[in-house]
């Protein structure tokens, strides 16, 4: 996992460097904010996956992970006017809402793959 994360950070650094050369500082700052927040969401999604796997031990962990994802989504939504980013944020919010509803309806092992997929798409959009 550490090697994958390192590769991701190297790729992000390359994107940021390219953006710095081709656009203004404000665009670079927004891109960095998006990437950092998307990275935080990815960490929260990992936490959500682990929480769902351990739901029998502590069902509150899933709610905490979902809250963390939503909080970070609000940060991205507040900082960008980019249509693709906004769509990706909406897709993650919808997937999170579906998981939250499933848990509320008694599903102890909801399918979190839509959240994972949507978060991955958000990361891609942020690094374009």
115 neighbors 92 (Cβ within 8 angstroms): yes
Question: What is the value of pTM for the model shown?
Answer: 0.71
**Count of residues in the chain:** 128
Q: What is the pLDDT of residue 88?
A: 87
Residue ranges in the chain whose pLDDT is less than 70? 1-31, 56, 77-81
Distances from the Cα of 68 to the Cα of 5, 37, 39, 72, 89, angstroms: 20, 11, 12, 6, 14
115 neighbors 69 (Cβ within 8 angstroms): yes
Q: What is the pLDDT of residue 114?
A: 93
27-56: per-residue pLDDT in tens?
666 667 777 777 778 888 888 888 888 776
d(CA 110, CA 101): 9
**How many Cα atoms are found within 13 Å in the side-chain-facing hemisphere of 114?**
15
Which residues lie closer than 8 Å to 116 by C-beta, 6 or more apart?
Answer: 45, 49
115 neighbors 89 (Cβ within 8 angstroms): no
Q: What is the pLDDT of residue 17?
A: 46
């Amino acid at each position: 996992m550490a090697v994958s994360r390192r590769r991701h950070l190297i790729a992000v650094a390359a994107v940021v460097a390219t953006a710095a050369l081709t656009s203004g500082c404000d665009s670079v700052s927004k891109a960095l904010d998006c990437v950092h927040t998307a990275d935080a969401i990815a960490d929260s999604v990992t936490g959500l996956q682990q929480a769902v796997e351990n739901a029998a031990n502590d069902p509150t962990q899933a709610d905490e992970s979902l809250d963390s994802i939503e909080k970070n989504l609000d940060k991205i939504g507040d900082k960008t006017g980019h249509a693709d980013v906004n769509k990706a944020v909406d897709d993650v919010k919808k997937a999170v809402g579906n998981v939250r509803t499933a848990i509320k309806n008694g599903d102890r092992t909801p399918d979190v793959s839509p959240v994972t997929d949507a978060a991955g798409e958000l990361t891609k959009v942020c690094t374009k």
